[in-house]
């Protein structure tokens, strides 16, 4: 069931040659093919969106990808806005940590503390500074997180910066040969409307949406390569304490027969003795029915219009045998 544990072999810069990917429908190949998930993810340059949710947090996958990049000898820049540097570096070996450059926007991003430690130009300034790097070789830039940036910066500015950042290797104006740049952006999906998310995803080469069942995490990967059809892939994995990925073949098979008793959702409307829902005909029949207390204009007319026999009607009174008829004038005492 558990696939080969990836011990993250160094990947040649650019990851060329490892791009063979299973067609949409999931990776159920042999171990060698399964390890392609990360390779193909990291093989592409450009922007990669990691879309996570409250339930399925994506920072560990981000750290796993960073570890993989660092092990292949790349310089990794991290724009950290959400967790402290210590917390981010926790769990990495020292040789990986040495390759990480942490740009700290956690401690004082808005310069409230006035310690003077705030990086000039804010996060956007740091990003543009990263654009102007000179050292050759591939670079990975991790944004932790894009959500923080989106909440504090205009979407258009951020998109332009990201575009400049991820496309600088294709820009011919720079004479020095710079290697591939890949940008990993963590995006908390619930925090943003469809507009900004759509704008970012149209910029992204790769999108990874995290999800899962009770016991396992899944990543839905969408890759857009130039002049090719986008590929979809679903990969099940879990992340080990040292931030290496343990890839798995598919959704856990034992979970449907033994669902967690705490999370079993019982629909209270399933076994009812009465009908809660109406079919279309039943609904129409109900809507067309006039209830006796409803006062309509026809009813009003019927009441106001005198009936045909009403003007000529009389009251006939026949006294009963035992009726006690009073012969006296009832108004006798009034003395009129």
Partner 1 sequence: MFPELNNLLNITPDRAEQGKLTLLCDAKTDGSFLVHHFLSFYLKANCKVCFVALIQSFSHYNIVGQKLGVSLTSARERGQLVFLEGLKSSVDVFFQANEEPHPLQFLREANPGNLQPLFEFVREALKPEENGEAAWRCPVLLVDDLSLLLSLGVGAVAVLDFVHYCRATVCWELKGNMVVLVHDSGDAEDEENDILLNGLSHQSHLILRTEGLATGFCRDVHGQLRILWRRPSQPTAPRDRSLTYQYKIQDKSVSFFAKGMSPAVL
Site for partner 1, rule CB under 8 A: 54-55, 57, 59, 82, 84, 86-87, 106-110, 112, 145, 147, 151-152, 188, 190-191, 193, 212, 214-217, 238-241, 260-263, 268
Task: Tell me how far, at minimum, the Cβ of 222 lies from partner 1, in Å.
Answer: 22
Mode of pairing for the β-strands spanning 100-104 and 231-239? unpaired
- With respect to partner 1, which residue has the nearer C-beta, 72 or 147? 147
What does DSSP assign to residue 327?
Answer: -
- With respect to partner 1, which residue has the nearer C-beta, 30 or 87? 87
Q: Which two tokens stand for residue 57?
A: 């947090």
Task: Tell me how far, at minimum, the Cβ of 54 lies from partner 1, in Å.
Answer: 4
Task: Tell me how far, at minimum, the Cβ of 214 lies from partner 1, in Å.
Answer: 6
- With respect to partner 1, which residue has the nearer C-beta, 214 or 285? 214
**Alpha-carbon gap, residue 238 to 27, rounded angstroms:** 15
Nearest to 73 by CA among 31, 42, 102, 29: 42
- With respect to partner 1, which residue has the nearer C-beta, 264 or 311? 264
3-class DSSP state for residue 285?
helix
What does DSSP assign to residue 179?
Answer: -
Q: Which two tokens stand for residue 278?
A: 């109406």
Q: Which two tokens stand for residue 199?
A: 């704008």
Task: Tell me how far, at minimum, the Cβ of 285 lies from partner 1, in Å.
Answer: 30
- With respect to partner 1, which residue has the nearer C-beta, 131 or 238? 238
- With respect to partner 1, which residue has the nearer C-beta, 110 or 291? 110
Q: At what angle do helices 36-43 and 59-71 cross, to 10 degrees?
A: 80
**Alpha-carbon gap, residue 166 to 205, rounded angstroms:** 10
Q: What's the length of the chain?
A: 336
Task: Tell me how far, at minimum, the Cβ of 261 lies from partner 1, in Å.
Answer: 7
Task: Tell me how far, at minimum, the Cβ of 290 lies from partner 1, in Å.
Answer: 33
From first CA to last CA, the distance across the chain in angstroms is 114
Q: How far is CA 162 from the centre of its chain?
A: 21
Q: Are 50 and 62 in contact (CB under 8 A)?
A: yes
- With respect to partner 1, which residue has the nearer C-beta, 268 or 308? 268
Neighbours of 257 (CB within 10 A): 6
Task: Tell me how far, at minimum, the Cβ of 77 lies from partner 1, in Å.
Answer: 21
Nearest to 215 by CA among 262, 177, 172, 174: 262
- With respect to partner 1, which residue has the nearer C-beta, 25 or 256? 256
Task: Tell me how far, at minimum, the Cβ of 189 lies from partner 1, in Å.
Answer: 9
């Amino acid at each position: 069931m558990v696939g080969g544990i990836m011990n993250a072999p160094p990947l040649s810069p650019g990851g060329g040659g490892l791009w063979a990917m299973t067609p949409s429908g999931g990776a159920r190949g042999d171990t060698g093919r399964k390890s392609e998930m990360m390779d193909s993810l990291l093989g592409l340059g450009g922007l990669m969106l990691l879309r996570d949710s409250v339930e399925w947090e994506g920072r560990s996958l981000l750290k796993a990808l960073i570890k993989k990049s660092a092990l292949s000898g790349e310089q990794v820049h991290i724009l950290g806005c959400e967790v402290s540097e210590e917390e981010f570096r926790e769990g990495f070996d020292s040789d990986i940590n040495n390759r990480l450059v942490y740009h700290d926007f956690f401690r004082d991003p808005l310069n409230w503390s006035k310690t003077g430690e705030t990086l000039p130009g804010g996060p956007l300034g740091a990003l543009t500074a990263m654009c102007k790097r000179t050292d050759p070789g591939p670079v990975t830039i991790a944004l932790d997180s894009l959500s923080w940036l989106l909440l504090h910066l205009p979407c258009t500015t951020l998109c332009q910066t990201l575009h400049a950042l991820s496309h600088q290797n294709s820009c011919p104006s720079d004479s020095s040969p710079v290697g591939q740049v890949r940008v990993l952006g963590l995006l908390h999906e619930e925090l943003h409307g469809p507009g900004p998310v759509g704008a970012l995803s149209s910029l992204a080469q790769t999108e990874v949406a995290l999800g899962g069942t009770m016991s396992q995490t899944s990543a839905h990967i969408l890759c857009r390569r130039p002049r090719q059809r986008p590929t979809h892939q679903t990969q099940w994995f879990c992340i080990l304490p040292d931030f290496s990925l343990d890839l798995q073949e598919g959704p856990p098979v034992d979970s449907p027969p033994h669902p967690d008793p705490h999370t079993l959702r019982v629909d209270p409307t399933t076994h009812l003795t009465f009908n809660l829902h109406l079919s279309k005909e039943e609904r129409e029949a109900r809507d067309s029915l006039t209830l006796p207390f409803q006062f309509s204009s026809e009813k009003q007319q019927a009441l106001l219009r005198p009936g045909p026999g009403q003007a000529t009607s009389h009251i006939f009174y026949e006294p009963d045998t035992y009726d006690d008829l009073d012969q006296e004038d009832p108004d006798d005492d009034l003395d009129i």
